[in-house]
Amino acid sequence: MITLKKVDTKNLWKIVRLKVREDQRDFVASNAESIMEAYVYTQAGAVAQPFGIYADDTPVGFVMFGYGDLPEEENPAIAAGNYSIWRFMIDEKQQGKGYAKEAMQAALEYIRTFPCGPADCCWLSYEPENTAAKTLYHRVGFQENGETDGDEIVAVLPLNGKS
């Protein structure tokens, strides 16, 4: 069973050690970089929530949520007042076990509790070459909205629907 656990002093280094395959490293920042960004953006007044993805008691991945705009960044229009899945990864040793879809569904269940405030949708972005991510995101209901976030494609999921 997949669960999400906040990154804390007890699991920080286990989560930092998780990594994607070499051929995926251009698609997602390391977990260490993501956790550092979460700290810095939180200090600047933004919302960034890093979580470990667990299969029972084993850390198998990482997800980080955001809410609203990031300060001093060019944000896609959809960011204002909405949730984002800012980072998502499954460890290279855990890929191919069906964890990604289940973890994404757990992430969306968490977002649908509206932990940071009300929102109409959740958005994420992905590199155009990352066809595996695009396929996963489509499978849980995300659809491109025509926006980009830098060079990445933005996809959106209404939060009032089912994934």
Please state the rounded mean pLDDT for residues 117-125. 97
> 10 Å Cβ neighbour count for 100?
24
Mean pLDDT across the chain, nearest whole number? 94
**The predicted structure's pLDDT at residue 58:** 97
Residue 75 has pLDDT above 80, yes or no: yes
| Residue pLDDT, tens place only, 27-71 | 999 999 999 999 999 999 999 999 999 999 999 999 999 999 887
SS3 of residue 119 by DSSP: coil
Q: Which of 66, 44, 69, 53 is nearest to 11 (CA)?
A: 53
Domains assigned to the chain: 2-158 (3.40.630.30)
The SS3 of residue 33 is helix
Q: In what order do the strands lie in the sheet with 152-158?
A: 2-6, 47-55, 58-67, 83-90, 121-126, 152-158, 143-149
Provide Rg for the chain, Cα atoms.
15
In the block, residue with structure tokens 């960011």 = 79
Alpha helices in the chain (DSSP H): 12-17, 31-43, 99-111, 131-139
| 23 has pLDDT over 70 | yes
Q: What percent of the chain has pLDDT over 70?
A: 98
pLDDT band at 161 (very low <50, low <70, confident <90, very high): low
